[in-house]
């Protein structure tokens, strides 16, 4: 089966291309550095020729309001049109647990718009909602830092290893379209502020983590369960304490 992975050279995409290839599929990495640009349409028709499935794990290079909305609307619109022309039978998109509750964020408003386009298209689809990746902990902490203090909402948090996100997306991609959503999360819940104290200690980072109920996540305030999945989520097996990258220091 030919499966085109948009964003296939990134963190999740590269892992997904490898996993699909190991299972005998023709996995094609589609990204600007492989000659495929979903914003301009360059290379899309050629990449999608003969494809059964398209998986979109791409992300906006800018999280600024107008730019991120333009990226997801333009990229997704071009992609869906090219899929319809190529006869693609399954569109899979990676999104985020809690997206529908985070409309106070520019980024998540753009993700909501992306999902709406997918739902309205003629292409059978599956949307995978994942919790935050272990690999993004550094950037989340940096984004929450104010005057050297990391301000984090004391809400539930259930992060997952990127390896297991790729595995879940791959399983959805080779299955029948859900025409709906599925959630995937890590095996354990933390208080978000407690997780970041643990993470910063592992990095040897001296910043203080302060629990702040009004701390924003990508511009939105969080409720107790905004970032955690429902009871029917697919759970990974890799605990943060066992994840090899937990002591990685950013260079």
Do residues 55 and 4 make contact, with C-beta atoms less than 8 angstroms apart? yes
pLDDT given at position 248: 76
Do residues 94 and 130 make contact, with C-beta atoms less than 8 angstroms apart? yes
Q: Write out the two tokens for 231.
A: 């009871």
Model's pTM, two decimal places? 0.95
- Residues 79-123 have pLDDT tens digits of 999 999 999 999 999 999 999 999 989 999 999 999 999 999 999
pLDDT given at position 65: 73
What is the residue extent of each domain of the chain? Answer: 2-247
pLDDT given at position 179: 98
pLDDT given at position 232: 95
Tell me yes or no: is domain 2-247 CATH 3.40.50.720: yes
Please tell me the distance from the alpha carbon of residue 187 to that of residue 20, in angstroms, as a whole number.
24
State which residues of the chain have pLDDT below 70: 249-251
- Name, in order, each residue with C-beta under 8 angstroms of 111's C-beta and a sequence gap of 6 or more: 72, 95, 96, 99
């Amino acid at each position: 089966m030919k499966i085109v992975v948009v964003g296939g050279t990134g963190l999740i995409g590269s892992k997904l291309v490898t996993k699909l290839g190991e299972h005998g599929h023709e996995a094609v990495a589609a990204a600007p550095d492989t000659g495929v640009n979903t914003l301009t349409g360059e290379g899309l028709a050629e990449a999608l020729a003969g494809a059964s499935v398209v998986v979109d794990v791409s992300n906006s290079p800018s999280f600024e309001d107008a730019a991120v909305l333009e990226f997801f609307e333009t990229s997704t619109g071009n992609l869906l049109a090219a899929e319809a022309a190529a006869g693609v039978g399954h569109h899979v998109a990676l999104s985020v647990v809690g997206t529908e509750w985070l409309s106070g964020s520019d980024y998540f408003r753009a993700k909501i718009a992306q999902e709406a386009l997918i739902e309205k298209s003629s292409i059978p689809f599956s949307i995978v909602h994942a919790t935050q990746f272990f690999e993004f902990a550094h950037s989340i902490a940096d984004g929450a830092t104010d005057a050297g203090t990391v301000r984090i909402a004391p809400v539930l948090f259930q992060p997952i290893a990127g390896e297991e996100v790729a595995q879940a997306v791959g399983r959805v991609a080779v299955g029948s379209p859900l025409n709906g959503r599925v959630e995937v999360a890590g095996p354990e819940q933390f208080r978000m502020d407690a997780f970041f104290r643990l993470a910063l200690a592992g990095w040897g980072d001296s910043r203080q983590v302060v629990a702040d109920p009004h701390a924003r996540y990508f511009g939105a305030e969080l409720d107790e369960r905004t970032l955690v999945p429902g009871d029917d989520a697919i759970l990974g097996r890799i605990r943060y304490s066992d994840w090899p990258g937990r002591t990685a220091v950013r260079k």
